[in-house]
Structure 1
């Protein structure tokens, strides 16, 4: 992969923003791009870095072929340990949090691609965490997978309205968790997505 010339999705991943945000920056002229004969926008990596610095836009650079980053948030240590083991074996970078407040802090520091989130936790529940992350431009791109033992119709509806991307009921099968993770992260196009 030529990482000196980026597609819109690659540029968005490099900056850890959504594709739509990157597209808006290109359309607004904040980032210089060129159009291929096939009509696709491309961005020189050096132009992207210059534009971001010039406009004072904060970004977190990631290698385009980096392993997925997953933040596991649950107040049950055994579930956290099991999921951590599962995703570490799959060559993912994994961080954990035991409550919603810690999840908010770690989502900014760790910049995960996916958060596996419990609904019922101390300090800040999964509903609040999901709404907070999806309403914040710097974290709205993060995929959120809800994993909960409280799978009522009302909870499922409320969490999807809060912005969650998928929902699994506990106890969940590892194969099901991996398949949903693959589906949520399919647009990332990682070279080493070893799921």
Structure 2
């Protein structure tokens, strides 16, 4: 029935669909992606099943995009995985610096931005002001985030134009509420 050469691992499926293997496993558990189980208990996916998924609503719904501006790769990866699991229909892009964020945000025109405050080149305060001064991006919701929880940082970023402030590390439930309050589903 199943030719072993045509079966894909979660990592291979993730690479094909530009999502993490954790997201692929979640889709399998949730019933969105059919799989077989090997005698060793591992999930494997038929290429035809992966193609069926990409021809369906998943790709067609990628109308909303979230940009994460975060220089900490581990935290950025965690946020990407959270968003991919909660909102597989959204596109997610990561800018690893304030400088990179400027051009990315202008080109993508995202539905929501998660913005780290402390970055080595241009800090989140300056990026936030830049976004608000740009006619095409001035209304984009910005959720600032930082491990610095002092009230003065929160007040300063809100004054710079952010819509909300979250303390890192961000919990899944907090992330979900934040996304739904600004762009829904």
Match of 2:151 in 1: 153
Shift of 1:67: 3.6
Shift of 1:104: 0.6
Match of 2:168 in 1: 170
Matched length: 123
Q: Which runs of 5+ in 2 are unaligned?
A: 1-60
Match of 2:21 in 1: none
What is the TM-score normalised by the length of structure 1?
A: 0.61
CA distance in 2, matches of 1:73, 1:149: 14
Shift of 1:68: 2.1
What is the TM-score normalised by the length of structure 2?
A: 0.64
Pairing of 1:38-57 with structure 2 (within 5 A): none
Q: Which runs of 5+ in 1 are unaligned?
A: 1-64, 187-192
Larger radius of gyration: 2
Among residues 99, 102, 109, which one is paired with 1:101 in the alignment? Answer: 99
- 4+ long deviations beyond 6 Å: none
Match of 1:71 in 2: 67
Q: Per-residue displacement from partner, 1:130-166 (whole Å, max 9, x unpaired)?
A: 0010111111021100111012111110100000011
CA distance in 2, matches of 1:66, 1:94: 9
2:183 counterpart SS class: helix
2:119 counterpart SS class: coil
Which structure features the higher share of helix residues?
2
* 2:82 paired with 1:86: yes
Given that 1:74 and 1:98 are in contact with CA atoms closer than 8 Å, whether structure 2 keeps it comes out as: yes
Given that 1:100 and 1:125 are in contact with CA atoms closer than 8 Å, whether structure 2 keeps it comes out as: yes
Report which structure shows greater RCO (CA 8 Å, sep ≥6).
Answer: 1
Given that 1:95 and 1:110 are in contact with CA atoms closer than 8 Å, whether structure 2 keeps it comes out as: no
